[in-house]
Amino acid sequence: MRRLFINADDFALTEGISLGITQAMAAGVVGGTTAMVCAAGGVSRLARLGGALSGRVGLHLQLTGGAPCLPPDVVPSLVGPDGRFPRKKIDVAAVSADEVRWEWRAQLARFRESGLEPSHLDSHHHIHKRPDVFPVFLELARELGVPARALSGDMRQALDAAGVPHADGCLTRFYGEEVTWETLLCLVEAAFADLGGEGTVEVMCHPGHADAALAAISTYADGRERELDALTGPELAGALAARGIESVGPALVGKPPTA
């Protein structure tokens, strides 16, 4: 069994990003996406564009970028003097686990305002990898009973112990200047080799159309267009099929193969 779960992060961040991800998923190789509900207009975009992707839209939990769902004075350890999340992960100081829990539950509630239920979980800038944050992430994933992104062996062990599904490995290096279908294929083949040839590999990606709203909040713009081209062209789908690699959605992550 060789399953590939390609997830497009940052759905609902901007109109261009959301439309690009929708296009990538329609092409068939990208199996899921995770939505940001702290972005301005995020829930509206999720409600308007996410319905067609029902069952394949997860929650991209945030402690960086945008404003919290809760009032800043309720989550003071999570925000700066401006009442917003830090823009970069490196600027996140010591946080209160209770405040993370309250805020992430508020983000879940806001996600559900769209009429959707999250199909899987991950986080913006991989903030859930922090030791002071991961227990809250684990708690929420276990409660929802959905697959969650694991970024290390220790995380996979903890998710296993909690009964939370996850991929056997996660690729986070399809990013930057060298984002072609050939480079992605090489990364995927290496990931399966590391697993002994079989298993489920998750790929983090960021396809989208670079619009003016994105330029105002992110330095990663043109790369998203290149990712979109790589993920929607026929070459990647054909190369994966030729190697017996099945593109799947979140529902099959962590599930045994059918007889």
Distance CA 50, CA 113 (A): 12
Q: Which residues pair with 30 in a beta bridge?
A: 6
pTM above 0.85, yes or no: yes
Q: Where are the domains of the chain?
A: 2-252
Q: Say which residues have a Cβ less than 8 Å from residue 161's Cβ, sequence separation at least 6.
A: none
pLDDT for 166 beyond 90: yes
Question: For 46-83, what is each residue's pLDDT tens digit?
Answer: 999 999 999 999 999 999 999 999 999 999 999 999 99
- The CA–CA distances, whole Å, from 56 to 61, 245, 249 equal 16, 19, 6
pLDDT of residue 256: 84
Q: Which residues pair with 5 in a beta bridge?
A: 202
DSSP 3-state of 120: coil
Distance CA 81, CA 173 (A): 33
Per the CB < 8 A criterion, the answer to whether 225 and 231 are in contact is no
Distance CA 3, CA 121 (A): 18
pLDDT for 259 beyond 90: no
pLDDT of residue 217: 87
Distance CA 46, CA 110 (A): 10
pLDDT of residue 258: 65
Phi, psi dihedrals of residue 148, rounded to the nearest 5°: -135, 150
Percentage of the chain beyond pLDDT 70 is 99
Distance CA 248, CA 142 (A): 22
Give the burial string for 218-238 (b: 16+ CB within 10 Å, else e): beebebbbebbebbbeeebbe
Question: For 8-31, what is each residue's pLDDT tens digit?
Answer: 999 999 999 999 999 999 999 999
Distance CA 179, CA 257 (A): 30
Instruction: Give the torsion through C-alpha atoms of 38, 39, 43, 44, to 10 deg.
Output: 160
CATH of domain 2-252: 3.20.20.370
Distance CA 247, CA 30 (A): 7
* Span 217-222, average pLDDT: 88
Percentage of the chain beyond pLDDT 90 is 94
Torsion region of 244: left, alpha or beta (phi above 0 gives left; psi -120 to 50 gives alpha): left
- Pairing relationship of beta strands 199-205 and 121-123 according to DSSP bridges: unpaired
In the chain, count H helices and then E strands.
9, 7
Per the CB < 8 A criterion, the answer to whether 2 and 246 are in contact is yes
* Span 115-123, average pLDDT: 98
